[in-house]
Chain A
């Protein structure tokens, strides 16, 4: 008996090693972030400190906005309930550290996708949920109707730690205009300072300008100039190194956009299960095995559409109906003259 003990132990060891390998790969496939999220029972989502239309909390602490809806969609997909999200308000300065340090799992905070952010600091952008561009707001009484009327010595209020500061410099430099940048840490102080007359102009993403205008003492006294000085594709961000989680967030967003393309809404999603179109059937989980690759069930996308709605519904609810930007501009489907175009879910 003892004769074979040595062989037996090595056999056991080999089997044990193989077993650990298989469990390892299974676990890897399920994604660490996904596993932790399901264990905790909520999605940890970083949002802004209050930007109407994108992420804004009401008096009772309910978060709404298109950025908020991305996190809600992920919660609906992986936990089955769009309300199981813990929102963490972050300043522009804090946001990336919060994500890379593991305090949050999705950063959905009107964040511009740029090469250096994507490549340098351990982040991965998963898509674009709002195409924006930087603009300027001025007082109507100033008589300025175009940025070409800006003169040397103009003072511009903005936030620190954003691409805004860099674009502003590029813009004024290229026009040869000297300017005084007044950069605050929080958006509320920027608005207050501009509103009191500290600055001649307030610059940030145009959607942000439109949203912040609603917070001013008298919104009608201010206009947003027509020029757009930069490309600002805003989208959700995840940590580098968990490709399954990255895919889940990406395809949760894509599902919302594609659902609008096929006319699937929160109201009619269930009835779409019997549709003739296989693309629609795949989007409501009636055909194919789309969830399996993420380690999810097959109705993950149906839940997103039913609980959060498609992109058009989210836009209408948060941005159009609140009077921030009624015109969808580039954020219209590609089939309707916009640039929203997502890869097919199949």
Chain B
């Protein structure tokens, strides 16, 4: 037996075992479903769902299909994960750096926050934020305006409604601004490398980002109408704000709980990353005359990031998967809408659970792929 075969045989046996196990489960499920008169198939996705969802990013009501209900849930899951990842990263980085602060108060506050929030089960925190919010927030008729004309109430956070005309022109102008910024940046880099001159890239970028969208208003026919929320009476004691965009309290509570919880872990990753860079690096950088800011930006952070990114990816994945706890507080995410209501109405447990599992797997793999790409980009390049 040569080496090639020796390597090949265990792999083949493993593969066969996996196929057999899967085959057995599929066969078993088929027999049992046949016995109980349950049919298998994904045809139900085209049927009318006939249930409504509280909060949706795309147009949806009960006359749409189950497939569309799936996308409603998926987008809501992605929304909560996206906001959660950004917020938890911001909080995590700040707290992580704060834990290394020489200031006693800042250092210990950060440490207390981390120990407190990461040691309480997430579901409890979600319930806490949700029901604490429901108890603490005013009814719409008692709410006071924040920042002019937004209202934080028990029924949601009401913000003015933006009604756009020619929104696409506006979006194109932003896109054009971003593209020109990218071009200018690479041009500036080239000039710095060749002539040693530094262009004021930041100001040019900001200027472009303001100027182009502004132009779209002046000559592009874009126009924005802002409708401020007005209190509307539904019954003797029932009020809402209209017209307004309402962010449901379920979303706010979920984002808060997920971000505060995950941020504790990210803070620890950041602390580990910064402490992982040897002291000599900092001293060496200072000795060649770099300012403390430059030391952090050019010497410490690039090395710390290599330590921070891989464990932080895990936290992003955890946050995304934990967002499925939304079902407990009525935020219509994938689990509540699709693996909840849709599963119940159709009774197609195997089909729906398999789709849901596959979806979470795909989201997680996509996040990992993105983070791995970034990790590779900042990895040490041997020259």
Question: Which A residues have a C-beta under 8 Å from some C-beta of B?
Answer: 92-93, 96-97, 100, 117, 120-122, 138-139, 141-144, 149-151, 153-155, 157, 160-162, 165-166, 168-170, 173, 179-186, 189, 192-193, 196-198, 200, 239-241
Contacts and interface: CB of A to CB of B under 8 A. Distances in A.
Interface in B200-239: 232, 234-238
B51 A241 contact: no
Contact of B154 (A144, A168, A197): A197
A183 B62 contact: no
A92 B336 CA distance: 12
Given A181-B53, A182-B330, A240 B36 contact: yes
A189 B328 contact: yes
B54 A117 contact: no
A49 to B, nearest CB: 13
B240 interface: yes
A180 B234 contact: no
Nearest to B232: A153
B154 A92 contact: no
A183 to B, nearest CB: 6
Interface stretch (B12-20, B290-298, B343-351): B343-351
Interface in B132-148: 134-135, 139
11 contacts: A92-B344, A100-B38, A151-B235, A153-B234, A160-B344, A165-B51, A165-B341, A166-B62, A197-B134, A198-B155, A200-B235
B336 A97 contact: no
Contacts of B92: none
Interface in B14-69: 33, 35-38, 50-54, 61-62
A179 B238 CA distance: 13
Nearest to A164: B51
Nearest to B53: A181
Nearest to B62: A169
A185 B134 contact: no
B332 to A, nearest CB: 7
B329 interface: yes
Contacts of A182: 54, 248, 250, 330
A113 B23 CA distance: 36
B328 A185 contact: yes
A239 B62 CA distance: 29
Contact of B328 (A121, A155, A186, A239): A186
Contacts of A143: 235-237
Nearest to B240: A153
Contacts of B54: 180-183
Nearest to A119: B37
B135 A184 contact: no
Contacts of B134: 192-193, 196-198
A145 B73 CA distance: 35
B273 to A, nearest CB: 38
Q: Which of B54, B235, B237, B346 has the most chain A CB within a 10 Å cutoff? A: B235
B340 interface: yes
Contact of B52 (A138, A144, A169, A241): A169
B341 A196 contact: no
Q: Which of B36, B240, B336, B343 has the most chain A CB within a 10 Å cutoff? A: B36
Interface string B237-260: 110101000001110000000000
Nearest to A144: B235
B36 A239 contact: yes
Interface of B: 33, 35-38, 50-54, 61-62, 131, 134-135, 139, 154-155, 232, 234-238, 240, 242, 248-250, 327-330, 332, 336, 340-341, 343-347, 349
Contacts of A151: 234-235
Contact of A97 (B53, B139, B237, B349): B349
B347 A241 contact: no
A172 B250 CA distance: 23
Contacts of A200: 234-235, 238
A100 B51 CA distance: 24
B131 A192 contact: yes
A193 B249 CA distance: 11
Pairs A-B, 5 closest by C-beta atoms = A161-B344, A121-B347, A143-B236, A142-B235, A122-B36
B378 to A, nearest CB: 42
A154 B332 CA distance: 18
Contact of A193 (B38, B235, B327, B330): B330
A184 to B, nearest CB: 5
B50 to A, nearest CB: 5
A240 B37 contact: yes
Contacts of A97: 349
Given A160-B336, A193-B330, A240-B36, A166 B236 contact: no
A98 B340 CA distance: 15
Contacts of B36: 100, 122, 239-241
A283 B8 CA distance: 72
B109 to A, nearest CB: 31
Q: Which of B38, B154, B238 has the most chain A CB within a 10 Å cutoff? A: B238
Contact of A141 (B33, B237, B248, B345): B237
A46 to B, nearest CB: 15
Contact of A169 (B35, B50, B336): B50
B340 A96 contact: no
Contacts of B328: 184-186, 189
A200 B54 CA distance: 14
Given A154-B234, A196-B135, 10 more contacts: A100-B38, A121-B347, A122-B33, A122-B37, A154-B238, A157-B330, A185-B327, A197-B134, A197-B139, A200-B234
Contacts of B329: 184, 189
Contacts of A180: 54
B234 A93 contact: no
B340 A93 contact: yes
A153 B346 CA distance: 29
A96 to B, nearest CB: 6
Given A160-B336, A183-B332, A166 B51 contact: yes
B247 to A, nearest CB: 12
Contacts of B50: 166, 169-170
